[in-house]
Amino acid sequence: MKHLTLVLFLANLFNQHVPTVTVHVEAAVDGFITTRGVHFLLDGNPYYANGFNAYWLMYVASDPSQRPKASAAFRDAASHGLTVARTWAFSDGGYRPLQYAPGSYNEQMFKGLDFVIAEARKYRIKLILSLSNNYDSFGGKKQYVNWARSQGQYLTSDDDFFKNPVVKGYYKNHVTTVLNRYNSFTGIHYKDDPTIMAWELMNEPRCTSDSSGRTIQAWIIEMASHVKSIDRNHLVEAGLEGFYGQSTPEKKKLNPSLDIGTDFIANNLIPAIDFATVHSYPDQWLSSSNDEDQLSFLNNWFNAHIQDAQSVLRKPILFTEFGKSCKDPGFDTSKRDQSFNFVYYKIYSSAKRGGPAGGGLFWQLLSEGMDSFRDGYEIVLSESSSTANIIARQAHKLVKIRRIFMRRHIGN
């Protein structure tokens, strides 16, 4: 506990000596993000992602009258030094879908995604585009399974998404369609657009019916290879939360009490997976624990994954979801700020010593006037000055690290 107290002290100190700034980041959009060893690179120089989630971008931008909300999100993000956005490139069946049925697409929704990519390019923000969902929000694997059932496939579980050849064919077709999409705003095919940093196979894949991890492992191998067969420009990641599995049973004690059929080590060792991802929600996973215990979990969670990315995976790692809900009992803004400081300190400490932590993306950014999208984790930068300042300071620090490594590279 003394160690955790020291880490908290350093995390708070970490953000006390940088003035409030509006950050203009040097991220160019004319180069593809690549990897070398445990680092992301842009134009041959180390690249760090200070980012955000905004799953709603395509959905909102599909209505031309609502596009200013997407533009405002990118504008506000860029002014605070945010360089990467993660968002959905799927909406399967249901209300305002991207995909009405397998292979049948809603052009208006696709134009919304076109607009999102064009706006990200305008504001020099890279995108991570997720291609499907584990959950039934916006359709997800349940919708794919239901589509196959309607064609006579006998499927007993939503987890058949990962095994049934017909369902896998539907998914591959969606991947092919999205990657080959011609952007009506930029005139660039998605697979050729360096605005996109990476493709994510699925948001938080889970297969609870197979705790061995073999089902998810086989699916990731197959689908990552499919993406690479179409697009050799972009990075690919699996969308994992970071839970340890059967390949490292001694590390399963680090997991919250969840057994979801994924394996952080085995899944990310797949050659076609370019970098590891981790999500961090101790307020959900350990909801009955106090703040100190949740921060202790967070400390161990980050330490273990950063170390494994360095020593075992030998790939970069991105913390693609983290946050603190204002719906938590006893919440006040200082608790969220403490959580953000903690996460950012862990990322910065790794980056400063040349480690594998390539950045973090908080959940979630909203523009003003989006009350119906509030889920407790929302950050409206104009309403959250203390948190917004912490975000901008992290951007400032990561830019400084990038400049240091660039000078060393030039000097060599």
Q: Domains of the chain: which residue ranges?
A: 2-411
Rounded to whole angstroms, how far apart are CA atoms 49 and 128?
11
Among 310, 392, 390, residue whose Cα is nearest residue 358: 310
Instruction: Please give the angle made by the CA atoms of 175, 176 and 179, to the nearest 5 degrees.
Output: 80
Torsion of CA 191, 219, 36, 255, to 10 degrees: 130
pLDDT over 50 (residue 6): no
Query: Which band of pLDDT confidence, cut at 50, 70 and 90, is reported for residue 1?
Result: low
Arithmetic mean of pLDDT, 138-150: 98
pLDDT over 80 (residue 83): yes
Among 194, 182, 188, 225, residue whose Cα is nearest residue 84: 194
Residue type, 55: Y
- Cα of 20 vs its chain's centroid, Å: 26
Arithmetic mean of pLDDT, 115-136: 98
Q: For tokens 């200013």, what's the residue?
A: 68
Backbone φ and ψ for 303, nearest 5 degrees, come out as -60, -45
Residue type, 388: A
Tokens at 104, concatenated = 């049948």
124: left (phi over 0), alpha (psi -120 to 50) or beta: left
Question: What pLDDT, in 10s, does the model give residues 173-221?
Answer: 999 999 999 999 999 999 999 999 999 999 999 999 999 999 999 999 9
Rounded to whole angstroms, how far apart are CA atoms 175 and 224?
10
- DSSP lists the bridge partners of residue 85 as 52, 127
Q: Are the CB atoms for 239 and 130 separated by under 8 Å?
A: yes
Q: Please state which of the four CATH numbers 3.60.150.10, 3.40.50.720, 3.40.50.1980, 3.20.20.80 is assigned to the domain occupying 2-411.
A: 3.20.20.80
Arithmetic mean of pLDDT, 40-62: 97
pLDDT value, residue 17? 52
Sheet bearing 317-322, strands edge to edge: 235-237, 196-200, 126-130, 84-88, 49-53, 357-362, 317-322, 276-280
pLDDT over 90 (residue 387): yes
Query: Rounded to 5, what percent of the chain is helix, strand, coil?
Result: 45, 15, 40
Backbone φ and ψ for 360, nearest 5 degrees, come out as -140, 150
Which residues touch 407 (CB under 8 Å, ≥6 apart)? none
Torsion of CA 332, 335, 336, 339, to 10 degrees: -170
Rounded to whole angstroms, how far apart are CA atoms 373 and 328?
17
Query: Which band of pLDDT confidence, cut at 50, 70 and 90, is reported for residue 7?
Result: low
Among 236, 167, 157, residue whose Cα is nearest residue 196: 236
pLDDT over 70 (residue 143): yes
Backbone φ and ψ for 196, nearest 5 degrees, come out as -80, 125
Query: Which band of pLDDT confidence, cut at 50, 70 and 90, is reported for residue 135?
Result: very high
Question: What pLDDT, in 10s, does the model give residues 223-241?
Answer: 999 999 999 999 999 999 9
Rounded to whole angstroms, how far apart are CA atoms 321 and 280?
6
pLDDT value, residue 405? 82
pLDDT over 70 (residue 222): yes
- Supply the mean pLDDT for the chain: 93
- Share of residues in the chain with pLDDT > 90 (%): 88
Question: What pLDDT, in 10s, does the model give residues 311-339?
Answer: 999 999 999 999 999 999 889 999 999 99
E strand or H helix that includes residue 178: helix 165-179
* Omega prior to 364 cis, within 30 of 0: yes
Instruction: Please give the angle made by the CA atoms of 98, 55 and 111, to the nearest 5 degrees.
Output: 40
Give the catalytic positions in this structure. Answer: 204, 321
pLDDT value, residue 408? 66
Rounded to whole angstroms, how far apart are CA atoms 206 and 136?
12
Arithmetic mean of pLDDT, 160-175: 99
Three-state DSSP state, 52: strand
pLDDT value, residue 18? 47
Rounded to whole angstroms, how far apart are CA atoms 231 and 225?
10
pLDDT over 50 (residue 169): yes
Among 59, 53, 176, 182, residue whose Cα is nearest residue 116: 59
**Eight-class DSSP state of 251:** G
pLDDT value, residue 406? 78
- Cα of 281 vs its chain's centroid, Å: 13
Q: How far is CA 261 from CA 143, 362, 369, in A?
A: 20, 25, 39
